[in-house]
Amino acid sequence: MKIIIIGPKTSSLIGFRGELIKEMISRGNEVVAITPDSGYEEEFKILGAKNIKIPFEKNSISLIENIRYFLNIRKILKDEKPDIVFPYTIKPVIFGSIAAKSLGVKKIYSLITGLGYVFIGNDIKVKILRIIVGFLYRISCLISTKIIFQNKDDKQEFIKRKYVKEMKCEVVNGSGVDMEYYKKSVLPSKINFLMIARIIKNKGVIEYLNACKIVKLKYANVTFSYIGAFDKTKDAIKCEDINTFFDDGTVDYIGETTDVRPYIANCSVYVLPSYREGIPRSILEAMSMGRPIITTNAIGCKETVEEGLNGFKVDIHSINQLVDRMEWMIKNKDSIFSMADKSYNICKERFEVKKVNNQMLKIMDI
């Protein structure tokens, strides 16, 4: 069979779906990946997949740009004649599924990796956008063979909003994580907290930085690190709004990196105070490497933590609770070791990439 995967970002498709692509190919299938970015020819060669590039801006609301993106996808699907189309994230799901259906593709499996800012924000523009996206999601769900979610709450949200009927829904444990690549490592002797995320409000960046500042005043020897790029979306945080946390030495800002493993290995506790996720890949990577987790009791995040066993869940927006749990980790340093082991075991049991990929391929009958 020929399978076409449509993704929003080339690096994330390789990083999050690379093992899935390899497994598809090992089962005798041909895989074509439609992505927006150049410069990944060698990576696709190693995977054994064909890559076709369609430039697009994922946050653009320009009607002309979105129509152009749809027509480009449709042209590629018409030329490639796939048996299965597998789009993920908002625009690929909406435009990819509609394009596929218009050409008579019989098997369309749409993956919802999280609902994001469109379903979190409350200003008038976001509410209008949510109505438009909801209408398009309803069409996409109607014409898709199956809708795959990464947590039960997102599935229920779609059902409640009447985007999809329950009989079409499937749930998998996130994107999975390659535990051979993200190998368990020895905990450092010095306490260091780490957060990895794009610098946008709904990741809980402001909460993390403020909590770090409060804790740093009491525990001067404890260190804090941050990995992530500044963003251009509506939810982005401006450089000037948070640079003081980095400039005064409160938090070590690492910026972007192509390999987070050395930084996870150097941390004692991984922190992600996000407002909503599918299943956060960065948490899975930290769990795979044997790190306790502090995250929020939010959709997608809460699935990764067994309270008090491999970490803690705090309320969204709560800097005080974040500070409290960070202090607990500092005062109970010996407990970090048992929590680290529990994180690793949970990851191995539920989120190991081969298990998740087998779930996915069974759903898609591949």
> What Rg value do the Cα atoms of the chain yield, rounded?
21
CATH number belonging to domain 2-171: 3.40.50.2000
Encoded tokens for 351: 């989120």
Please state, in angstroms and rounded to a whole number, the distance separating the CA atoms of residues 222 and 359.
41
Please state, in angstroms and rounded to a whole number, the distance separating the CA atoms of residues 156 and 314.
23
SS3 label, residue 46: helix
Q: Which residues contact 51 (CB under 8 A, 6 or more apart)?
A: 10, 32, 33, 35, 40, 41, 44
Rounded to an integer, the average pLDDT of 342-361 is: 95
- For 113-191, strand residue ranges (E) read 146-149, 169-171
**Superfamily in which the 192-351 domain is placed by CATH:** Glycogen Phosphorylase B; (3.40.50.2000)
pLDDT tens profile 77-99:
999 999 999 999 989 999 999 99
**Domain residue spans in the chain?**
2-171, 192-351
pLDDT tens profile 267-286:
999 999 999 898 999 999 99
Assess contact for 316 and 275: CB atoms under 8 A: yes
Q: Is residue 116 predicted with pLDDT exceeding 90?
A: no
SS3 label, residue 176: coil
Rounded to an integer, the average pLDDT of 313-331 is: 97
Label residue 177 by pLDDT band (50, 70, 90). very high
Give the model's pLDDT for residue 40: 86
Q: Is residue 119 predicted with pLDDT exceeding 80?
A: no
Give the model's pLDDT for residue 51: 94
Give the model's pLDDT for residue 358: 94
How would you list the strands of the sheet with 293-296, edge to edge? 252-255, 223-227, 192-196, 269-272, 293-296, 311-314
Count CB atoms within 10 A of the CB of residue 366. 20
pLDDT tens profile 35-67:
998 888 889 999 999 999 998 876 667 788 889
Q: Report the chain's mean pLDDT, rounded to a whole number.
A: 92
Give the model's pLDDT for residue 121: 67
Same fold, 2-171 and 192-351: yes
Maximum CA pair distance of the chain?
63
